[in-house]
Chain A
Amino acid sequence: MQEIIKIDYPVKESLKNLFDSYNCELNNLNSFVADYKRNVYELFKSQTFPTLKDEGWRYTNISSLVNLKLSFPDYKTHDGDIYYQNDYLNIDSYKIIFYNGKYLKRFSTIEELIKKNLIVFSSIAEELKNPSDEFKKYFASLVDNTRIFNSINSIFFEDGYFIKIKEGVQLQKPLLAIYLYGNQNSPFISPIRNILIAENNSKADIIEASFNIDDSIVFENNIVEYFGYEGSEINFIKLQQNNKESFHYSDLIAEINANAKFKGYVFTFGSQITRNEAELKLNGEYASGHLYGLFIAKGKTIIDNHTQMSHIKPNCESNQLYKGILFDRSRGVFRGRIRVEKNAQKTNAYQSNKNLLMSEFATINSKPQLEIFADDVKCTHGATVGQIDENALFYLRTRGIDKENARSMLILAFANDAIENLYNENLKEQLRTIIFKELSK
């Protein structure tokens, strides 16, 4: 076993090869980013992919990923209208469309916001050529490249968004970033790197949706660095629906400053292997951070949620509620860490993970971790695993509702409190529809 670990996996070999060709292209980029990427690559060369022996990956076997040979997407196969027709989220919103990792300005509808000076927007591709001072200020300040999935992103990202919601602005409609993937013959990588800034007292909903339009295999790797300033209130909603051959890695790192509120919603319907990481840093007094997760896994897929609530300053509150629904031979993982620094007195932290096992072969590994260095804190956590209530199922059936429908209703009911907190009715309705469809697949 040990020998195998020392050999580079096919995926790493392929990424090294990709970098050799990519290295020349870096010359076209501003040296600020090119140097960064080259430095991370040096780090990457000595990094290994995690195995089940790594504590943070104990339950998540990524052998199907590390045996993959990755390439860049072939952009020649772009078809301008395919993705437009696949505009599956029918939400009144300001759209930001990406296709195979590239920002498509002509399908995006945020011009109005930029013109009205409500937001600052640039694509990361633009910033790579000609970085603004602001981009330089925020870029890579939260990302931890000691982790290999992050370093892969740092080396290969070519696009994404830089958005700043201006002071006091309240967006009436959500910003909707859609990541579409498709039309490729071999497994490909095209990481996305986003920077999102909510200035003082700004309010907005941001929805991020990943979707495969066909059975092309993508290793999606999406990082968001978020900065929420005094009094800002942001709902960040992530919706992931890759196909069951693809891989999905995401990392959300959020710095939440004094009196700011951040609510993250993570709706995961799985790829072959999905790993969602999130860290909320409560970095100013009276900041609050929430994470609501709902994950539904089927077949032999794995959905792994890794969260950290970092209480850095006093008087902050955090709340995590993750709900998992696991079918067939799928595996779900929830590792939620609450870390309370010595200085973070009067912390209020709550965490709960509830799971529904729909098959005797499905597995859930739920692991809360508390690291508390302050002495005046309130921290609670809990995890449950259960099955569909047969009594309730029978009750619904005796009212004329067929078994499958009744099961879906009960699952939806179980999932409900992860959806209920959203106040956008349109989005709620669409989510219920998506969940219903996922359940009846």
Chain B
Amino acid sequence: MLSIKNLKVKVEDKLILKGVNLNVKAGEIHAIMGPNGSGKSTLANVLAGREGYEIIEGEIIYKGLNLLDIAPEERAREGIFLAFQYPVEIPGISNATLLKTALNEIRKHRGEPELDAMEFMELMKEKMKLVEMDINLINRPVNQGFSGGEKKRNEIFQLAMLEPKLAILDETDSGLDIDALKIVANGVNMIKKQIQDKAIILVTHYQRLLNYITPDYVHVMYDGKIVKSGSKELALELEEKGYDWIKNGKNY
């Protein structure tokens, strides 16, 4: 589904990604872990198409498409979804308006008919239950005045609504208390169960989210590269030994 080859990316003249390789197949969950500043979020943002990143070398092939050639909105319509580390507050646009516009754009792209107001409402209610989101939030401006937990939950709610093929969760677990974390994890697991032709990339600093979502692969990023890959046990090992273990290992 996704193949990243030797990706090198500069931000403001500083080389951040120094040759990332990653292969993700449908049905897989990959966790990308690593200390702060290792390039995890840069990778997530490059996948979603954020501007301000200079691609020096390498390629990203997603479902046969050269991802770096297409705009963020086209990527989204092709099934890529980024759950933001810092979800953006948008005064003046309601959650409902955002989702209705987004969903219909994506459906149009897939050649499906647009949803009418009733169908949309039903779908929203169903998905809100999934993430235990307060129905009143739906007519509130996007993320405005939401608590940290509500914002992250809203990301997962959007994920559930838009049903992407490749979901990238950028530090979705950070800033969540344990209950919110469980809800987010449940949401992700439900989605995973429902559709088998999907893949999920979890970008996280901590191991704790992986107590609730079991990854098929764990990758450790350090200094702009994936320096170690393994099964879910790698996450536990990291938790035990800390990132210094990786850093030191690199220095040997």
With A403-B73, A405-B101, A409-B101 as known contacts, state yes or no: A397 contacts B49, CB within 8 Å: yes
How far is B109's CA from A415's CA once the two chains are assembled, in angstroms?
A: 29
Residues of B within 8 A of A409 (CB): 93, 97, 101
With A414-B92, A416-B92 as known contacts, state yes or no: A401 contacts B105, CB within 8 Å: yes
Q: Does B81 contact A (CB under 8 A)?
A: yes
How far is B131's CA from A174's CA once the two chains are assembled, in angstroms?
A: 44
Residues of B within 8 A of A88 (CB): none
Q: Is there an interface contact between B92 and A412, defined as CB atoms closer than 8 Å?
A: yes
With A413-B90, A413-B92 as known contacts, state yes or no: A400 contacts B102, CB within 8 Å: yes
Q: Is there an interface contact between A401 and B73, defined as CB atoms closer than 8 Å?
A: yes
Residues of A within 8 A of B102 (CB): 396, 399-401
Q: Is there an interface contact between A399 and B71, defined as CB atoms closer than 8 Å?
A: no
Residues of B within 8 A of A412 (CB): 92-93
With A394-B50, A409-B93, A413-B93 as known contacts, state yes or no: A400 contacts B77, CB within 8 Å: yes
Q: Is there an interface contact between A400 and B91, defined as CB atoms closer than 8 Å?
A: no
Contact check: which of B50, B76, B88, B93 meets A400 at CB < 8 Å? B76
Residues of B within 8 A of A394 (CB): 48-51, 72, 88
Least Cβ distance of B199 to chain A in Å? 17
Task: Give the A-B contact count at a CB cut-off of 8 A.
Answer: 83
How far is B183's CA from A242's CA once the two chains are assembled, in angstroms?
A: 54
Interface centre among B50, B90, B105, B141 (most CB of A within 10 A): B90
Q: Is there an interface contact between A400 and B73, defined as CB atoms closer than 8 Å?
A: yes
Q: Is there an interface contact between A403 and B101, defined as CB atoms closer than 8 Å?
A: no
With A403-B71, A403-B73, A405-B101 as known contacts, state yes or no: A398 contacts B92, CB within 8 Å: no
What does the 1/0 interface line of B49-85 toward A look like (CB < 8 Å)?
1110000000000000000000111011100111010
Q: Does A144 contact B (CB under 8 A)?
A: no
Q: Does A438 contact B (CB under 8 A)?
A: no
Q: Does B98 contact A (CB under 8 A)?
A: yes
Closest chain B residue to A415 by CB distance?
B92
How far is B102's CA from A395's CA once the two chains are assembled, in angstroms?
A: 11
Closest chain A residue to B141 by CB distance?
A413
Closest chain A residue to B103 by CB distance?
A400
What does the 1/0 interface line of A378-394 toward B look like (CB < 8 Å)?
00000000000111101
Q: Does B158 contact A (CB under 8 A)?
A: yes
How far is B72's CA from A391's CA once the two chains are assembled, in angstroms?
A: 13
How far is B89's CA from A410's CA once the two chains are assembled, in angstroms?
A: 11
With A401-B101, A402-B73 as known contacts, state yes or no: A392 contacts B88, CB within 8 Å: yes
Q: Does A277 contact B (CB under 8 A)?
A: no
How far is B94's CA from A412's CA once the two chains are assembled, in angstroms?
A: 12
* CB under 8 Å from chain B, chain A span 110-167: none
How far is B91's CA from A395's CA once the two chains are assembled, in angstroms?
A: 13
Q: Does A215 contact B (CB under 8 A)?
A: no
Q: Is there an interface contact between B71 and A397, defined as CB atoms closer than 8 Å?
A: yes
Q: Is there an interface contact between B91 and A413, defined as CB atoms closer than 8 Å?
A: yes
Q: Is there an interface contact between B82 and A400, defined as CB atoms closer than 8 Å?
A: no
How far is B106's CA from A402's CA once the two chains are assembled, in angstroms?
A: 11
Residues of A within 8 A of B49 (CB): 394, 397-398
The DSSP consensus for interface residues of chain A is helix
Contact check: which of A390, A398, A416, A417 meets B81 at CB < 8 Å? A398
Q: Does B162 contact A (CB under 8 A)?
A: yes
How far is B98's CA from A395's CA once the two chains are assembled, in angstroms?
A: 10
With A394-B51, A405-B101 as known contacts, state yes or no: A399 contacts B76, CB within 8 Å: yes
Least Cβ distance of A217 to chain B in Å? 36
Residues of B within 8 A of A392 (CB): 88-90
Q: Is there an interface contact between A398 and B93, defined as CB atoms closer than 8 Å?
A: no
Least Cβ distance of B176 to chain A in Å? 20
How far is B47's CA from A394's CA once the two chains are assembled, in angstroms?
A: 13
Q: Is there an interface contact between A395 and B88, defined as CB atoms closer than 8 Å?
A: yes
Residues of B within 8 A of A414 (CB): 92
Residues of A within 8 A of B93 (CB): 396, 409-410, 412-413
How far is B76's CA from A400's CA once the two chains are assembled, in angstroms?
A: 5
Q: Is there an interface contact between B82 and A398, defined as CB atoms closer than 8 Å?
A: yes
Residues of B within 8 A of A390 (CB): 51
Interface centre among A401, A402, A406 (most CB of B within 10 A): A401
How far is B7's CA from A40's CA once the two chains are assembled, in angstroms?
A: 76
Q: Is there an interface contact between B90 and A399, defined as CB atoms closer than 8 Å?
A: no
How far is B89's CA from A413's CA once the two chains are assembled, in angstroms?
A: 12
Residues of B within 8 A of A410 (CB): 90, 92-93
Q: Is there an interface contact between B76 and A395, defined as CB atoms closer than 8 Å?
A: no
Q: Is there an interface contact between A399 and B88, defined as CB atoms closer than 8 Å?
A: no
Residues of A within 8 A of B51 (CB): 390, 394
Q: Is there an interface contact between B101 and A398, defined as CB atoms closer than 8 Å?
A: no
Closest chain A residue to B50 by CB distance?
A394
Closest chain B residue to A391 by CB distance?
B88
How far is B92's CA from A271's CA once the two chains are assembled, in angstroms?
A: 27
Residues of A within 8 A of B82 (CB): 398
Closest chain A residue to B108 by CB distance?
A400
Residues of A within 8 A of B109 (CB): 400
Contact check: which of B81, B98, B103, B106 meets A396 at CB < 8 Å? B98
Closest chain A residue to B88 by CB distance?
A395
How far is B245's CA from A436's CA once the two chains are assembled, in angstroms?
A: 56
How far is B102's CA from A401's CA once the two chains are assembled, in angstroms?
A: 6
Residues of B within 8 A of A417 (CB): 92
Residues of B within 8 A of A399 (CB): 76, 98-99, 101-102, 158, 162
Closest chain B residue to A411 by CB distance?
B92
Least Cβ distance of A79 to chain B in Å? 40
Least Cβ distance of B49 to chain A in Å? 7
Closest chain A residue to B92 by CB distance?
A413
How far is B88's CA from A184's CA once the two chains are assembled, in angstroms?
A: 50
How far is B241's CA from A334's CA once the two chains are assembled, in angstroms?
A: 62
What are 20 A-B residue pairs whose CB atoms fall within 8 Å in the complex?
Answer: A389-B88, A394-B49, A394-B50, A396-B90, A397-B49, A397-B71, A397-B76, A398-B80, A399-B99, A400-B109, A401-B98, A401-B102, A402-B71, A402-B73, A405-B101, A409-B97, A409-B101, A410-B90, A413-B93, A417-B92
- Knowing that A395-B87, A409-B101, A413-B93 touch, tell me 19 more A-B residue pairs with CB under 8 angstroms: A389-B88, A391-B88, A392-B89, A394-B48, A394-B49, A394-B50, A395-B90, A395-B142, A397-B49, A398-B48, A398-B49, A398-B84, A400-B73, A400-B103, A401-B98, A401-B102, A410-B92, A412-B92, A416-B92
Interface residues of B (CB under 8 A from A): 48-51, 71-73, 75-77, 80-82, 84, 87-93, 97-99, 101-103, 105-106, 109, 141-142, 158, 162
